[in-house]
């Protein structure tokens, strides 16, 4: 019986958080960050793959010694991944975490009711 009451409180708390305007704002901010960056990264990645398949002359062009354009593009894939992760971390710390902390506090308050 006590376990059932706990589940009911948890469900009510989740519903209260889900209906909060801060939750909607959190989802909106997250989506507005993730969607454009995902599209940009996928376009960059697909350009790399397309160039490796259909622009072999360009990709095999030597820049310095045995380092060619393909190697530089490949390394830039890793660099861009880390840059996006760092930008997201900074964005989340400034724009998402304060809202999430408030929602978490609301959830804990609602569970105690």
Q: Is the pLDDT of residue 13 over 90?
A: no
Break the chain into its structural domains and give their ranges. 2-112
The pLDDT tens digits of the residues spanning 86-95 come to: 999 999 999 9
Q: What's the confidence (pLDDT) of residue 110?
A: 86
The pLDDT tens digits of the residues spanning 53-69 come to: 999 999 999 999 999 99
Please state, for a pLDDT cut of 70, what percent of the chain lies above it: 98
Strand partners, 64: 67
Angstrom distance (rounded) from CA 91 to CA 44: 21
Query: The pTM is what?
Result: 0.84
Angstrom distance (rounded) from CA 102 to CA 109: 11
Angstrom distance (rounded) from CA 68 to CA 72: 7
């Amino acid at each position: 019986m006590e376990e059932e009451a706990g589940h009911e409180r948890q469900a009510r708390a989740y519903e209260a958080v889900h209906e909060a305007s801060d939750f909607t704002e959190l989802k909106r901010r997250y989506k507005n960050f993730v969607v454009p960056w995902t599209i940009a990264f996928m376009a960059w990645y697909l350009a790399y793959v397309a160039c490796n398949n259909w622009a072999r002359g360009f990709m095999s062009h030597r820049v310095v010694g045995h380092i060619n354009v393909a190697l530089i593009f490949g390394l830039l894939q890793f660099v861009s991944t880390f840059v996006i992760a760092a930008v997201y971390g900074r964005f989340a710390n400034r724009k998402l975490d304060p809202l999430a902390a408030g929602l978490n506090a609301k959830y804990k308050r609602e569970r105690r009711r």
